């Protein structure tokens, strides 16, 4: 032999240590001016990212529990292994340090310096202890203490606006708000009607981590909403900040407003649900079968929005008169809703961009009480086609009412099998002899979180995104939005069907309230197949309140009356208490709960008189 094979034992990668992980997370040092790691990160979000990463990567967070004082000591409930709880006095002290740091983030806090020195002194310690003996490593307590301090220093992070006044301003949060807003790229969306209309803006690129000096290839840190009270994960260990996976898994953006508004003081929210389209004619589902082996028959299909075109023919894109007619129709629904409506929601794939753009500009100018519009749209503001959820927030800024819009593509393709094809009566369009996949370019996966009503955050998902755990649901559980809208192209929204199951999961963890909405068109088609008259267009689910008086309102099916075209859902925000696994309470959070719903209908003769029969063809 001319040489010997290198021993396999010499190829192993050295075990990670506390120091190697901190260097990987902060390649330029925790103090970039000196390039050293012996001094703690300067901002709460960066300190949180550092210790949260260590606790999760090592698995140490699973050994943290809340303080427990036994009343009798029988039965024995104390832990004999590595699991330990901090003393109540320690938690109180750590929280007090965090509050003090928040009031002046630029003032050195000696306790933080000392705790970081203890952590850095363990830099050569192995990150993950052996599985057989699993000792409690000396750096765990310091890391836990620093996480609590950073979390408490970030109370209300991501929600504070620049006109919030107080005797003890949180400078860390003001800086976080500045970063979130200043790093958000906004562009004017041109209007097809008026060149002078520069008050509809797109906001797609934003800051995806508050830990600006930490490597986004390792960890990201953003604000959060709810904290679940079940399970044992890193997300159950913090109230105000959350740790996310490296960028690209997916990219997550947290949007907040620059200034507060009078609506921030309201605890009621009225949302107009429009289950459009009301009819999907034959020929809207177009497909092509893959030319492969007979036992691998599959195809791709796309949906053509012929319901947006009132004239007879093959054209499936709306024209100007159709768009104007649809906006007038929505306006009439709002007028008949009688009371203020704060949001309008339409289902998956209901509109094209031109119709959406005209609608959002009209609501912005003519309905000052409306705060948001959400709809499933077949293209974005750049006219890139796809199954999109488009979200517009309307608010006052420097004396002008503006609309800020972002969009994202659906994260998973719809898979149609023979059962669904028969259920929705699509046999004339798609063969039942193969599996069909939605023609969709997924590309970059994105999740947007929007702050509203000062203490709430909400987001929207599309159909399959609600059901699939990866990649978006895991991030939603970390971010804990108070309210989630799920836009569907589905059948009746009954509790026992799949949307009810997955909405319940999110109501459980992270504690979000979930509202699903589907178009009436597919309900109508499934009714024809099964010979029934189901009209359940939406489903409400919130975390159970344990109050018998509210039990019936925690899980609600919302039907559309025979003579109605929309439903107004009235919600109310109530104070909630979230508890972390180390026993810290947060009484500054909000739970949205269902109050009641009312039908909104336009008489049949008026629909005929105003030329809206193409919209409501029954």
More confident residue, 551 or 281: 281
> Is the predicted pLDDT of residue 11 greater than 50, yes or no?
no
Separation between Cα atoms, residue 152 and residue 147, nearest integer Å: 9
Q: How many residues does the chain have?
A: 618
Residues 6+ apart with CB under 8 A from 307: 276, 277, 278, 279, 280, 281, 284, 521
Of 35-44, 231-240, 260-269, minimum mean pLDDT range:
260-269
482: number of Cβ within 10 Å: 25
CA distance 154 to 152: 5
Summarize pLDDT for 218-247 with one digit per residue, the tens. Answer: 999 999 999 998 899 999 999 999 999 998
Percent of the chain at pLDDT exceeding 70: 90
Distance CA 226, CA 224 (A): 7
Q: Which residue has the tokens 């509790």?
A: 495
Average pLDDT, the chain: 89
Identify the band that residue 309 occupies on the pLDDT scale cut at 50, 70 and 90: confident
What pLDDT does residue 195 have? 79
Better-predicted residue by pLDDT, 473 or 103 = 473
pLDDT digits (tens, 9 = 90+) for 410-464: 999 999 999 999 999 999 999 998 899 999 998 889 999 999 887 899 999 999 8
How large is the average pLDDT for residues 577-592? 92
Q: What is the mean pLDDT of residues 297-319?
A: 80
Question: Mean pLDDT, to the nearest integer, of 20-41?
Answer: 91
Mean per-residue pLDDT, 373-400: 92
Of 66, 60, 229, the C-alpha closest to 143 is 60
Q: Model-level pTM?
A: 0.93
Percent of the chain at pLDDT exceeding 90: 69
Residue 34: pLDDT above 50?
A: yes
The mean per-residue pLDDT over the stretch 54-74 comes to: 85
Positive or negative: CA dihedral 329, 333, 336, 341: negative
HSE value, Cβ hemisphere, 13 Å, CA-based, for 242 = 28
Reported as half-sphere exposure (CB side, CA atoms, 13 A), residue 107 has a value of: 12
Average pLDDT over residues 561-569: 97
Residue spans of beta strands (DSSP E) within 204-267? 220-223, 241-244, 251-255
Cis amide leading into 471 (omega within 30): yes
- Report the relative pairing of strands 200-203 and 186-188 from DSSP bridges: antiparallel
Average pLDDT estimate for 502-515: 96
In this model, does residue 104 exceed pLDDT 70? yes
Question: What pLDDT band is residue 152 in, cutting at 50, 70 and 90?
Answer: very high
- What pLDDT digit, counting tens, does each position of 157-191 carry? 998 776 655 545 677 788 888 888 887 888 899 98
Higher per-residue confidence, 261 vs 584: 584
Closest CA to 390 of 369, 407, 368: 407
**Are 271 and 569 in contact, with CB atoms under 8 Å apart?**
yes
Closest of 431, 427, 424 to residue 522, by C-alpha: 424
Residues 396-415: tens digit of each pLDDT = 888 899 999 999 999 999 99
Tokens representing residue 150 in the block? 């950073």
Question: What CA–CA distance (Å, rounded) separates 183 from 457?
Answer: 19
Strand partners, 459: 484
Q: Which band of pLDDT confidence, cut at 50, 70 and 90, is reported for residue 262?
A: low
Token digits for 114?
């000392």
Task: Among 118-132, 496-510, 577-591, 594-608, name the one with the lowest average pLDDT.
Answer: 118-132
CA distance 449 to 458: 6
**Residue owning tokens 């947006």:** 308
- pLDDT band at residue 12 using 50, 70 and 90 as cut-offs: very low
pLDDT recorded at residue 469: 84
Q: What pLDDT sits at residue 171? A: 77
pLDDT of residue 9: 43
Long-range Cβ pairs for the range 322-329 (8 Å, 24+): 322/355, 322/614, 323/354, 323/355, 323/358, 324/358, 325/611, 325/612, 325/614, 325/615, 326/355, 326/359, 326/615, 327/355, 327/358, 327/359, 327/362, 328/610, 328/612, 329/602, 329/610, 329/612, 329/615
What is the model's pLDDT at position 499?
96
* pLDDT band, residue 5 (cuts 50/70/90): very low
């Amino acid at each position: 032999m001319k040489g010997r094979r290198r021993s396999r034992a010499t190829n192993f990668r050295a075990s990670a240590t506390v120091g190697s992980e901190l260097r990987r997370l902060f390649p330029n040092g925790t103090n970039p001016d000196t390039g050293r790691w012996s001094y703690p990160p300067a901002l709460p979000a960066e300190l949180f990212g550092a210790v949260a990463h260590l606790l999760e990567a090592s698995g140490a967070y699973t050994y943290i529990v809340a303080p427990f004082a036994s009343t009798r000591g029988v039965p024995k409930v104390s832990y004999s292994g590595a699991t330990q709880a901090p003393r109540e006095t320690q938690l109180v002290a750590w929280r007090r340090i965090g509050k003090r740091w928040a009031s002046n983030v630029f003032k050195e806090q000696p306790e933080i310096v000392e705790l970081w020195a203890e952590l850095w002194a363990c830099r050569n310690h192995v990150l993950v202890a052996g599985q057989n003996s699993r000792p409690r490593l000396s750096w765990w307590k310091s890391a836990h203490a620093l996480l609590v301090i950073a979390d408490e220093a970030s109370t209300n992070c991501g929600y504070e606006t620049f006109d919030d006044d107080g005797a003890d301003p949180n400078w860390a949060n003001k800086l976080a708000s500045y970063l979130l807003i200043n790093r958000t790229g906004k562009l004017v969306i041109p209007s097809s009607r008026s060149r002078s209309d520069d008050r509809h803006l797109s906001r797609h690129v934003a800051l995806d981590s508050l830990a600006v000096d930490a490597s986004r290839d390792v960890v990201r840190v953003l604000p959060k909403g709810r904290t679940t009270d079940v399970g044992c994960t890193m997300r159950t260990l913090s109230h105000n900040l959350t740790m996310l996976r490296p960028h690209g898994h997916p990219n997550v953006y947290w949007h907040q407003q620059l200034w507060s508004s009078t609506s921030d003081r309201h605890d009621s929210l009225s949302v107009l649900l429009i289950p459009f389209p009301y009819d999907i004619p034959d020929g809207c589902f177009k497909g092509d079968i893959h030319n492969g082996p007979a036992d691998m028959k599959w195809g791709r299909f796309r949906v053509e929005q012929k319901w947006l075109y009132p004239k007879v023919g093959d054209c499936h894109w709306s024209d100007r008169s159709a768009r104007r007619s649809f906006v007038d129709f929505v306006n009439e629904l709002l007028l008949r809703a009688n009371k203020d409506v704060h949001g309008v929601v339409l289902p998956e794939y209901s509109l094209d961009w031109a119709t959406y753009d005209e609608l959002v500009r009209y609501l912005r100018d003519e309905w000052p009480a409306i705060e948001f519009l959400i709809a499933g749209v077949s293209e974005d503001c750049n006219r890139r086609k796809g199954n999109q959820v488009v979200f517009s927030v309307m608010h006052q800024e420097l004396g002008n009412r503006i609309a800020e819009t972002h969009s994202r593509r659906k994260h998973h393709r719809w898979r149609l099998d023979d059962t669904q094809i028969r259920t929705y009566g699509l046999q004339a369009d798609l063969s039942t002899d193969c599996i069909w996949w939605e023609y969709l370019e997924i590309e970059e996966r994105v999740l947007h979180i929007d702050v509203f009503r000062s203490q709430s955050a909400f987001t929207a998902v599309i159909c399959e995104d609600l059901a699939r755990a990866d990649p978006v649901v895991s991030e939603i559980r970390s971010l804990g939005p108070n309210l989630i809208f799920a836009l569907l192209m589905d059948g009746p929204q009954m509790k026992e069907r799949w949307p009810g199951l997955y909405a319940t999961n999110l109501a459980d963890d992270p504690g979000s309230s979930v509202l699903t909405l589907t178009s009436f068109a597919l309900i109508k088609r499934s009714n024809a197949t099964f010979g029934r008259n189901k009209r359940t267009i939406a489903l409400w689910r919130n975390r159970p309140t344990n109050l018998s008086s509210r039990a019936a309102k925690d899980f609600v099916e919302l039907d559309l009356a025979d003579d109605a075209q929309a439903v107004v859902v009235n919600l109310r925000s109530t104070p909630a208490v979230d508890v972390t696994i180390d026993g810290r309470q947060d009484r500054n959070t909000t739970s949205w709960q269902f109050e009641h719903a009312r039908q909104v209908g336009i008489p049949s003769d008026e629909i005929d008189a105003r030329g809206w029969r193409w919209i409501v063809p029954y």
